[in-house]
Structure 1
Amino acid sequence: MPRLVITGVGQDKRSAVVLDGPISAYKDYPEYQGIRISDLWKSGSLPTPLEIPHAANTHTVGPNVDAGSAGFNVRHIVFPPRGDYALHTTPTIDFAVVLSGEIVAVLENGETALHAGDIFIQRATQHGWRNPTERPCSMLLFIASAK
């Protein structure tokens, strides 16, 4: 699993690493073909309050996007091999980076194959995902509320 490093301000009022380790707060969703989700950092508003303790932002929520009405969510997702995820719409702009593996972005008007290193920006459209391979696909998403 990827390593998560979070900075903050130490007791000496100097910048420091306050969390460094593998992402451990995953939740598996068997009802969604075993997809694994971890919300790494989220805020219901911008600008984001900096006084939120880092531990409060390393948790897992349901598969539904929760970016608030003016916020964001940074999420790590692992799509299992041979998974097929139905079309859905979220009121968000999603900036997705494929970290490893392959995934197919499914849209109403076609499909686009994405590979490690590819960036996909989804703008509140009907979309779904399909992993046609025998390997998991790891993806980092920055999900921002949209109107």
Structure 2
Amino acid sequence: MATAIFAAGCFWGVEAWFERIDGVVETKVGYTGGKVDRPYYELVKTGKTGHAESIKIDYDASVISYQQLVDAFFECHDPTSKNRQGEDVGSQYRSVIFYLDESQRYIAEEKIKQWNEKGVFKKSIVTEVAQAGTFYDAEEYHQKYLQKNGSAACGIV
């Protein structure tokens, strides 16, 4: 089992996106990248903690590669939009690839170059590549939110 951590706006839609991918074994939504210990939703949503709404993905690397997950990450949101995804505005909705080792960092940086060279987006990618810190699980009501409440609750799915 391998792990990837991404932030791409509203974590509900990002989780639903990745859950559909063959090889993804488990997803958890939560908070990472900030300066507050044990953050919780009401605090993170203020944008003052430095945390991003994120998703931790456990995947079977014999079925899907990290490179393929990074490609899926770029397909599920607008990586050219700084601190905003759709109606969600603030640093907690920024685009980030949180790497767990140097191999993931290298792949993330190379994928950004490749996607910029493809010219798929009208603007340059602003996705951050940052070392993963502590990942704090979001509250239980956020886990599998769209499965529980329907896909109309978030715009990217």
Q: TM-score, normalised by structure 2?
A: 0.29
State the structure with more CA Rg: 1
Q: Which has the higher strand share?
A: 1
Q: Which has the higher contact order (CA 8 A, sep 6+)?
A: 2
